Each structure stands twice: as structure tokens, then as C-alpha cells.
Structure 1
Amino acid sequence: MYRNDPSPIVSIIIPAMNERRTITQVIREASKVHPKSEIIVVANGSVDGTESLAEKLGARVIYGAEPLGHDVGRSVGTESAKGNVLLFIDGDMIIPAVHLRPFVRSVLSGVDVALNKYDGPIHRTQIHRVVLSKHILNLVLSRADLKGASLTAIPHALSRKAVETVGAEHLSIPPLAHAMAVRQGLTVEAVYAVEVGRMNPSRVKIKGEDPLEQIVVGDHLEAIYWITERYGERGGFEDLGRIRSMVR
């Protein structure tokens, strides 16, 4: 059985809702990431015993009877984390430890925000709105080099400095936290590629629409709104010699 280190270097945060089928393997892989680590499972709204199973495996469990909503578990887990490196994964994706360690190593080497290089399918005639939103946000942030890398996608890791700069509460809106990290001068890099697209479980659509897609696109719009509110309607870009007053 896994045992959380009392003075962890790495905190591994796993939001989980009804993930009994996968949580055992997720925790087993997480336990191999670093010898001085803690695993925090935020089990919210689960009715299948996910939280009991996680406790038996040795993880620290934060349990809530009601669903917290998308990504709120990241903020809740962060507030309880003790490590200087915070690694975020999901309870429904079994990612081998060998593909998680590069994110931890990058933060230990000085990166504040270590992102998954996964860009999503970008060569289709019609690009998925979430993928497009990620690329647009990075363009607005003058970080085209990040392409589709984003705090929206796991796995990713943050330094303690990044958490304190951005604020744990903002991790509930990953694109906003991403924009804040870049704009506030943190070292943000896409460090390693894990193809999570194929791991994502299919979701039930409502009237032909994916409700999660709408939430994520809205989160990106909120991030762009924050940029324009804080840095002006051009997001900090110069208008150079354009004289707008001459336009009728």
C-alpha cells in the first residue's frame, strides 16, 4: 500500500468522480512518480465508492457528497497540498509514471508551469472549438510557441511559486490561470507530450452539444476578457502609428 510522505516534495492532485474502474491504476502509477510524494484524491459527488478505494490504497482523500463542478477539484486539492511541486492528473486517465515524471523534473529544474505539449487535432477541415480556443489564447498572450499547450490539459505541473502567484482559487478556471501565469512573468513551457485525446472518455451530448465543450470555450473567453480588462482592449499590443480618429 502507498504511504504519503509527511514532508513531500511532490503533491499529486487527482480530482475524481465515480472513477472506481480506473482509480486503482491511476494511484499506482502516481505512487511511482517521486520517492517523496503525497497523493491527494478529491472525490466529489462520487456514489460508487471511489473515495473508499482511494483511502484503502493509501491516498489522502478529500470527500464531498456533492459534485464541485468542472476543475474545482484542482483548487481544493491545491489548498491542501504540501509539496513544492504540484502535479495534476485525472482519476479517469491511467498515465504511466514514466510519462508523468518529465513534468515533475521540469519544475524541479526551474520551470514554473510545465505543460503537456499535446496540441489536439489541428489538421482537420473543421478544428474542434476547444483546440482552436487554446491556440487563440496563446496567440493573444504572444506565446504562439506554446501552440495548443494549456493548463486545460493534463498532465501538468506547477511550482509552489506559480501557485502563490496565480492563486489556488484560479486553478478552477484553467485558461484564466494559464493567462495569469504567462502575463505575470512565470516560466511557462510545454515540456513533454502525452496524447490524452484518445484517453478522454466519450461524453453524453445534450441536444447535440457537449456541455463540457461549452464550459471550456467559455473559460477561454473569460481568460481573454481578463487580459483585455487588465492590459487594454488590444491586450497590451501596440497600435503603432494608426490614427483611428480619422476613420469616419
Structure 2
Amino acid sequence: MEALPLHEIVIVLANTNEEIYSLARNHKNMIIAYLPDEVNPDVGRALGAKLTGADTVLFVDGEHPVHSDILARFLWECDGRVDIALNDLTAQMGLFNRRGESERFHEFLNRSLNREDLSINCLSSLPFAVSRNALDTLGAAAFTVPIKAHALAILNGLKIGTGGSASNRNSNRLIASKQNWQIAAGDHVEAWTEAMGTRGSRLDFTDSVRNRSVLGDWEQ
């Protein structure tokens, strides 16, 4: 991170040990948010976004280091080109029948919001970068549910593209447990609910098969 032109680094430590806390304090321009209890990582990142006033905010996972050359690409894309630079995972997605459930969710969401060009790429996959315009439009709290923030970004007409390409098998692994499956499904339901509230129940897709006019007063 110190190889990048960053004005400040915000690190959120939740229920960590003294050794890690001491290491973080030794870095320059470091803002540390220490939480005594363990929290959802997405909540921690949303808190970190709220604590910074930077023009561009780079979201990374401290447990999965990425080379600075790759991270620099995200910053470059957000420098007047896009509002959100996503992690480009298209080269890793493989055949449809071999993809994880999360990847299928992500691609279906993008296609349903007329952004099939984004493929499986979304705000659920780290790293990514967002502009100050994107943060002010969505609000830092929106990033507590990244996939909902992703849908909101599309609905608000923000410029969304890809930055670098970092391996992210952890974020796109098979949703093995029933609990993880329910959480992922619930997050996507929130995203689609938000979209349908803006674009209608058909998400602006016309029904070219059914003749709904015959319903008369029953048509909704």
C-alpha cells in the first residue's frame, strides 16, 4: 500500500490482537478504527469509507494482499474515467456450469439491470475503487450490503467499469453452507427489490407475449 500515492490509509481492526494493532500503528498516514467485537467485514469497510474524505477510495482485503501495480490500475480508472472501478474477474469465470452460485447471482443481477457488459463483476469482489461522487451519491452505509450498493450505483447512473484483475477465489467460491446461501440470496433480493421500486416489477423489460389489456381494470 505504501507504494501507492495514497494520502491516508484507513484500517478497521475488529477483535484483533495487540501485535497486529502495533504493526498498524507503525505505518505513516494511518487511521485506525478499533472495534472490540468482531463485525461483518462489509460493515467494517463501510465504516472505513465514512472515516475518509479522499477523492478516491480503494477498498482492499487486508488478509489477501494484491500487488501495488494491480491496485494502481483501480486508482487510475477512478481518476476522472469512472465512478466505480470493479475487480475484473471475467477471465476467471470459466464455463457457466462450473461457476459458483455467487457468480451466477452476480451475472444475473447485471443482466437484469441492462449491464450485461459487467458480466460477473460487482462490488462484492475485492479490491475495487470508488470516486467521491459515488460515495456521496450512495452514502458510505450502502456498502454494508455491497451487492445492493452495486444495484444502486447502476440505478443512479454512475459510471461503472473495471480496474485491475486480482484473483478473488474467496469471494466467488461455492456457497457451501445453507446459511451462506441464504445470506447471498437475501442480499440479492434486497438489490432486486430496490431496482423494482425504481424501474417497476419488470425492470423496464416489456412483455411481448401476454396481452395484458384484456384484464381491463384488473391490470396492474
Alignment of 1:174-193 (within 5 A): 174-193=146-165
Alignment of 1:62-77 (within 5 A): 62-77=33-48
Q: Residue 47 of structure 1: CA displacement?
A: 3.7
User: d(CA) in 1 for partners of 2:150 and 2:144?
Assistant: 11
1:194 to 166, 171, 175: 166
Post-superposition Cα deviations, 1:42-91, rounded to whole Å, max 9, x if no partner, equal 11122464223211233221000012224001110011112100000001
Look up the match of 1:105.
76
- Name the SS of the counterpart of 1:125 in structure 2: helix
Cα distance change, pair 210–57 in 1 and its aligned pair in 2 (3 A): farther
Larger mean Cα displacement after TM superposition, 231-240 or 85-94 = 231-240
TM-score normalised by length of structure 2: 0.87
User: d(CA) in 1 for partners of 2:94 and 2:182?
Assistant: 19
Look up the match of 1:217.
185
User: d(CA) in 2 for partners of 1:214 and 1:122?
Assistant: 24
User: d(CA) in 2 for partners of 1:45 and 1:232?
Assistant: 43
User: d(CA) in 1 for partners of 2:26 and 2:95?
Assistant: 44
Post-superposition Cα deviations, 1:144-190, rounded to whole Å, max 9, x if no partner, equal 00001100001100000000111110011111111111111110012
Look up the match of 2:88.
117
1:152 to 124, 139, 145: 124
User: d(CA) in 2 for partners of 1:219 and 1:70?
Assistant: 15
Look up the match of 1:56.
26
Aligned sequence identity (%)? 29
Q: Which gives a bigger RCO, structure 1 or 2 (Cα 8 Å, sep 6+)?
A: 2
Cα RMSD between the aligned structures?
A: 2.3
Structure 1: where are the runs of 5+ without partners?
1-29
User: d(CA) in 2 for partners of 1:66 and 1:54?
Assistant: 18
Larger mean Cα displacement after TM superposition, 39-48 or 70-79 = 39-48
The letter for the 1-side match of 2:204 is G
Q: Quick check: 1:31–1:37 contact (8 Å CA) kept in 2?
A: no
- Name the SS of the counterpart of 1:37 in structure 2: coil
Alignment of 1:1-248 (within 5 A): 30-34=1-5, 36-47=6-17, 49-58=19-28, 59-119=30-90, 120-123=92-95, 125-197=97-169, 200=170, 209=177, 211-239=179-207, 242-244=210-212, 246=214
User: d(CA) in 1 for partners of 2:134 and 2:87?
Assistant: 16
The letter for the 2-side match of 1:56 is N
Cα distance change, pair 90–65 in 1 and its aligned pair in 2 (3 A): same
Q: Quick check: 1:129–1:217 contact (8 Å CA) kept in 2?
A: no
User: d(CA) in 2 for partners of 1:122 and 1:172?
Assistant: 29
Q: Residue 108 of structure 1: CA displacement?
A: 0.6
Q: Quick check: 2:147–2:188 contact (8 Å CA) kept in 1?
A: yes
Q: After the TM superposition, which segments of 4 or more aligned residues of structure 1 sit over 6 Å from their partners?
A: none
Structure 2: where are the runs of 5+ without partners?
216-220
- Name the SS of the counterpart of 1:74 in structure 2: helix
Q: Quick check: 1:84–1:160 contact (8 Å CA) kept in 2?
A: yes
Alignment coverage as a number of residue pairs: 211
User: d(CA) in 2 for partners of 1:154 and 1:122?
Assistant: 19
Q: Which has the higher helix share?
A: 2
